Each structure stands twice: as structure tokens, then as C-alpha cells.
Chain A
């Protein structure tokens, strides 16, 4: 299964990344190398094998519904690149240019 440059660009879009045109060919090649290597898994018959998402068996892990101490607004926003009125300030949500 070969991945095309177009597919790589689609994946980049899903991941909110940009692959510059000049790097695209190399990126596609490396992508295919790795996926090609991963293709070896196809050799294994896993029809009757259960998937493992986590290694160890656990009992139920839950906490009681008891309130802790939240961060202060100042602490919460201490790393905000931009803030306004106690919130995280972000650029215009809709596409297109703002002012």
C-alpha cells in the first residue's frame, strides 16, 4: 500500500500541520518506508487474537465525587500566550482575515 503525496497532505491537514512543498517528497518517501516496514505485520495471522490496548489487568479505578482545590484564574492563565477578561484569547474562529 503506497501512500501518495496527496494523502500525506490530507493527513497533515487532519493533524493541523503543514508540510512545505520542498520537503514533501522526502516526507512521502520516509512515510512509505516506515509503513512498508510495518507491513510485515500482515504476515501474522491474528484472526483469533484479542487486541491489547493496555498491558496490565486492573480492577475498577475510580475516585469518589469529592471536590479538590482548583487552580486560581491567575495560575490557570499563567502560561497563556494571550489573555483577556479572565480567559484565553484566541484568534478569529471563522476562516478568513480579521482586522
Chain B
């Protein structure tokens, strides 16, 4: 198998055994990018030069016989929502297309301490608002399993880059499913950690009470490695848990005997693709065969989650995106005679339609006279959604369900905002409750990957990873590489 299709932990072993150098590995990824990027379009910015410099430093360390961190010298793709000092950070928006971050996000600083190599900034839906990566100002990213399909979103570039062998691992961010859904569509493993597990400092905010940074990788082992590198308390993020993160690789034991896995009936309702349901139910049966106890459960407020989300997230976003006014950084509309005109033109020209729509929605639900009817109501329903999970987690250890109701959809097929929003119906409740959730491949439908979602208790990524690892090692779907154009939608 080509090196670029190997998971990061195997590449790390080869580095340590000196079978290959980090510079060679990095060049390999850069060559792969040169080869497939015109078709995939996973990146907004490439960092080839600095990537090779970082790689050379790691090679020097290895040469001196110094120990290296698990991800050291291995190229990863970073969603363009995360600030890397001195590198363009655009959020795939026109309004930030010339913004060079003057500081490192905490997750980036942590990865730098691990000597990780950043190969480029990955494409995304503009400001992470979307589920197909089609709202990017710059380009549409294609799904490596079916080039006429979307890789999902909003972390579509991150997921596609890993699936296409352009990066060994990647970082995404997940506000309503933006890590797990593209992982599901691209046959990769995507983990949204517990809210507060990973620092949000330097991750451009979409909806602050929901956003969480996490890994998209080739397998569950890599997922644990990246999570180890990025998690932990951050003094710059008030919502970061002030407790030491465990060693997540300790969860990588193929043993789920006696684990109670709940299957929420509301996640198998109308709108779920038949083939997806079949594969997910098959995976649950497989888990049962591996020794887990399967329990039918109910999360009765699930049907309200999308509506709740589309009040809370836009409300927070409307404030978070108010800073883009053309004064301090980013795009400024030319030729304006006064300040209001400058602000309005800058924002009108700088934001795409989906972003505008959500800013407007958020402004509306917070505006005088509507706060109680919409925003406060949604915050109350959020409480009900959280209570659903609390009750269920008194009975089971994790939940198993589909990640998304469908497999990857054809590009341009979703025109109506509301039907795009429904793609996140199974992922949104997890953000609402701040829980950890993972998506991993559990089969194919028409040649396109299907994702299995496992959801855990707050701060219990360990159980989620253990179940995911056990299933993955037994089912083996992670071993199939994307054909790149070999399959049509």
C-alpha cells in the first residue's frame, strides 16, 4: 500500500525505525497533493515549504537519537478555521481571504510541541456554516469516493484530504456534526470530543456553546493519538475543562464484553436511507456479536433538536460574526464614503448567502420582542434534550446510531436550506448536550461509505474509542482506500 494511504501511527513506526524520513514522507504527501488536488480541491492554502522545514527538524531529532512524539514528522491538514501564526486563516470566506493569523490556536501550539507537520489549510463551508463544503467562497471539494459527490461538511476539506491520501490526519471542528458527518461521507474516522475537552482558543467561533475541535483520521488509533495531542486545559479558554486528559490510547483494547450499547429508536425514523439503516443495524449486530449488550432506548426530544439548533447556533453566530466589519482585518469594501456604508458593504460583499441567512436568523431571534419566543424557548428545549441523554446514560454506556441519514450526496443537489439542515439530524443533539461522538465506517452503499455513530457520556471518550476500536479491528472497513473517481454517484 502506498505510504500516503497508511495511518499516522504506522508512518510514525516507520520514522522511528528509520525506514523513511519525515522529509521523504512530507514530499510524498506533497506529490500526492500535486497529483490529486486538482480533482479533490481539499485545500485553501498549502504550506509545503514550512512543512518540509518542520519535517527536517524532526529528521534531525531522529538523527540525534532523541525520542519523538507519536505524531512528530507526520503531515496533517488543518481546517482553515484554526489560526496558525503567520499563515492565512480564511474560514473559506471572502471576508477573511487576506487574514494572516498573528497567533497560534491552542491546538496548533500543542501540535507544534508534538513536532507535527502542517501540510495545508483545509477547505470548509464558509465559517463552518453548511453540511456540504459547498458554501466555501473558494472552491467545491469533491468526495474521493465519488467525485461528483460532496465530502460532507463543514469540515469537508479535512475529511477529503485524509480520504484522498493528501494528509495522514486532519483537524476539523464540529458545531452540529461538521466532523462526524464528513467522516461518515468519506469513510474516515471523525471524533467530536466532549465540549470543553479541547481548547477553542484560536478556533474562529461559529456557535461558542457548541463548537468543538477534533480529529478526522484514517483509523481509531490515529484518532486517539491526535486527541492526546490536542486535549487538555487551556488558560485562554474559560470553557475548557480544568482537568488532565487521560491517555486515550489506553482505550485501544478490543474488548467490549458487557458494555451496554443503547440504540435510540428516534435515530431510525423517517428520512433515514434504507441502505444506511441496513449497514448501521448490521454494525450494531456486529457489536453485539463482539460481546456488547444491546438495549433499545428512547430520546423523545430528538425531533426538536434541529429546530433548537437553528435558533441557538445562528443567535451565537450573529454576535460572533459581528467583528467582521472591515475595521481591523480582512476584507474592506472599497470606495465607501462613510462608516455605515463601509460596514454594510464590507459585510454584504464579504459574506456568502448562507452566512448572511444565519446572521439574519440569529439577529431576528435575539431581537426585541422575539427573545422569549425563540431564543429563550430554544435554551429551554436544549435542557430537555440534555435530560433525555442523562436518563438514557443511566441505563447504557454508549449509544449507537447512524451518523447521517444518507451517504454522500451529489454536488449541487441540495438547494433548499432546510433540507440541508436535516442532514445533521443525528449529530446535532450530541452538540446540544456537549457529549463526545465518533463516526467510523461500517460499510458501503453504492460504493459510498456509511458511517456508524457512537455517542458517550460527557468526558467518557474512552468508552467511545474502545467500542469504535473493537468494531474497527473486527470489521476492517478502515482498510479500504478511496478509489478516487472509480465510483460514480
Contacts and interface: CB of A to CB of B under 8 A. Distances in A.
Contacts of B99: 79
Given A16-B343, A16-B344, A78-B102, A55 B363 contact: no
Interface string A26-44: 0100110111011111101
Interface string B209-229: 100000000000000000000
B376 to A, nearest CB: 6
A34 B417 contact: yes
A50 B418 CA distance: 28
Contact of A51 (B341, B357, B380): B380
A55 B433 contact: yes
A43 B193 CA distance: 32
Nearest to B308: A41
B312 to A, nearest CB: 9
A61 to B, nearest CB: 4
B196 A49 contact: no
A3 interface: yes
- The secondary structure that dominates the B interface is helix
B235 A63 contact: yes
Nearest to B417: A30
Contacts of B383: 46, 49-52
Contact of B307 (A16, A41, A50, A91): A41
Interface string B313-355: 0000010001001111111100011111111110110010100
A79 B328 contact: yes
B381 interface: yes
Contact of B337 (A71, A80, A91): A91
A96 interface: yes
A51 B351 contact: no
Contact of A46 (B209, B303, B353, B381): B381
Contacts of B238: 58, 61
A44 B381 contact: yes
B356 interface: yes
B195 interface: yes
A93 B47 CA distance: 40
Interface in B75-117: 98-100, 102
A53 B319 CA distance: 15
A3 B364 contact: yes
A34 B332 CA distance: 31
A46 B387 CA distance: 13
B106 to A, nearest CB: 15
A27 B308 CA distance: 21
Contact of B338 (A7, A16, A35, A91): A91
Contacts of B303: 40
Contacts of A79: 98-100, 102, 328-330
B361 interface: yes
A16 B347 contact: yes
A53 B239 CA distance: 12
Nearest to A60: B238
Contacts of A59: 242
A94 B373 CA distance: 35
A8 interface: yes
A11 B364 contact: yes
Contacts of A86: none
Given A44-B384, A46-B384, A91 B339 contact: yes
Contacts of A56: 195-196, 239, 241, 434, 458
Interface of A: 1, 3, 7-8, 11-12, 14-19, 23, 27, 30-31, 33-35, 37-42, 44, 46, 49-56, 58-59, 61, 63, 71, 75-76, 78-82, 88, 90-98
18 contacts: A7-B364, A11-B360, A14-B363, A15-B347, A16-B347, A31-B360, A34-B310, A39-B307, A44-B384, A51-B380, A52-B383, A54-B209, A56-B241, A61-B238, A90-B339, A91-B341, A92-B338, A97-B337
Given A75-B102, A96-B337, 11 more contacts: A7-B364, A30-B417, A41-B377, A46-B380, A49-B381, A51-B382, A54-B209, A56-B195, A81-B331, A91-B337, A95-B340
Closest 5 CB pairs of A and B: A55-B434, A51-B379, A79-B329, A81-B332, A46-B380
